[in-house]
Amino acid sequence: MKSFVQGVAKNIIRAVSWTWKPYSRLILYGDDAGWVLDWEMRELRAICAQLGVPVVKPLWKHAYAPQSIFFSNQFFLQREDWLDLLPHRIGLAYFHGLPQTGDEDFDEVYRRLQKNHKRISRIQVSHTEMRNAILQTGIEPSKVFLIPIGINTDFFPFCNDDMKRTARAELGIPQSAFVIGSFQKDGVGWGDGMEPKLIKGPDIFVSTMKRLKEDIPELFVLLSGPARGFVKKGLDEAGIPYWHGYVKSYPDIATMFHVLDLYVVASRQEGGPKAVLESMSSGVPLVTTRVGQGMDLVKHGENAFMTDVEDVDALASYALQVYRSTPADLQPMLAAGRKTAEANSYESQIPLWAEFMKGFVK
């Protein structure tokens, strides 16, 4: 019965769409997790509206004429049936997943791209390291577009003292605390997250916090995101107070940035992270490892601080520099960070997406 209904639905879709020209519509596929990548698809849909690119839902993959499909990540390549989508044009975002870094899923997806790159029409990468890796698959360079994971600066206003006091009062966090933020998923799976997802550097983050506890008696850690069990266990063992919570909707994360004195990225590998631009937009000092689009966007000492991967000493040292600085000392860096965020807003990226869509969607 189910297959009969599906067959009828396909025939109806084909009948309704028979006048569509080939590649005249864009079909967007998110990851249906209700979080970052789905929000990226929402922003891309808005950009397409400004560009005059018609966007339709995934069910229109059964349209009479082939259309253009964009996936929010590369892992659909692991599906055995994705080639059935041809002759639709296929585009995708490939933000992270460097090959030969110890993750078999990353290696398998990369191998599949190597094998099938001629069937791919467009790839969005968010930083130069990933672009260089993708080009090594043999794909035609004209198909690869460097477009950073952007930011909606309206969601992340530049924080002031009143906003910080209010946000801390709402969460019950001491006004005198020095609050460091970490908003991500860094445990394996969707449970408690006791097994660390090492590419996200939760072990490095915990080690850095333990180091800072020696010099910052008021240290407090603000956590958000699922599967943070490994980090919370480490903070508990070190006697470092923290607050872990979830937000109902992605834009609500802005209030959590208002609480912070510092944001720390301790990852070994990233596509973004979005927190680089989120902290810059919010006027929060940032210390990050040299990963993802941070490598392209961070100018060390000008708009944020950057360290080598796994360098706990450097992460702690720059965090202490922020701790010991006055607001006046930090203001030039924070102002430069805000400018970086504005230069990478979704609105500012419209010309980049216009180039991406040329020859992909007619």
Same domain, 40 and 141: yes
Whether the pLDDT of residue 7 is over 90: the answer is: no
Question: Does residue 346 contact residue 151 with C-beta atoms inside 8 Å?
Answer: yes
Residue 362 lies in a domain: no
**Residue-level pLDDT at 31:** 61
Q: What is the mean pLDDT of residues 317-327?
A: 98
Looking at every residue in the chain, the average pLDDT score rounds to 95
Q: Give tens-digit pLDDT for 201-220.
A: 999 999 999 999 999 999 99
Q: How confident is the model at residue 30 (pLDDT cuts 50, 70, 90)?
A: confident
Residue 156 lies in a domain: no
**Residue-level pLDDT at 85:** 93
Prior bond of 87 cis (ω within 30°): yes
Same domain, 200 and 247: yes
Same domain, 112 and 206: no
Q: Report the range of poorest mean pLDDT among 18-27, 111-120, 219-228, 249-258.
A: 249-258
**Residue-level pLDDT at 4:** 61
Whether the pLDDT of residue 200 is over 60: the answer is: yes
**Residue-level pLDDT at 36:** 76
Number of domains in the chain: 2
Q: Give tens-digit pLDDT for 87-105.
A: 999 999 999 999 999 899 9
Same domain, 196 and 287: yes
* Residue ranges making up the domain that contains 305: 161-343
Residue 155 lies in a domain: no
Residue 176 lies in a domain: yes
CATH assignment at residue 292? 3.40.50.2000
- Torsion angle defined by CA atoms of residues 93, 94, 95 and 101, in that order, rounded to the nearest 10 degrees: 170
Same domain, 114 and 260: no
Residue 290 lies in a domain: yes
Same domain, 196 and 141: no
Same domain, 173 and 263: yes
Give the Cα-Cα-Cα angle 17, 23, 26 (nearest 5 degrees). 85
Residue 123 lies in a domain: yes
Same domain, 178 and 142: no
Same domain, 167 and 90: no
Residue 211 lies in a domain: yes
CB atoms within 10 A of CB 113: 23
Same domain, 89 and 166: no
Q: Report the range of poorest mean pLDDT among 3-7, 48-52, 107-111, 346-350.
A: 3-7
User: Cα–Cα distance between 357 and 308 in angstroms, integer?
Assistant: 36
Same domain, 26 and 107: yes
Phi and psi based region of residue 254 (left: phi greater than 0; alpha: psi -120 to 50; beta: remaining): alpha
Same domain, 123 and 226: no
Q: Give tens-digit pLDDT for 215-245.
A: 999 999 999 999 999 999 999 999 999 999 9
**Residue-level pLDDT at 250:** 87
User: Cα–Cα distance between 135 and 205 in angstroms, integer?
Assistant: 32
**Residue-level pLDDT at 5:** 55
Q: What is the mean pLDDT of residues 245-259?
A: 91
Residue 248 lies in a domain: yes
Q: What is the pTM of this model?
A: 0.93
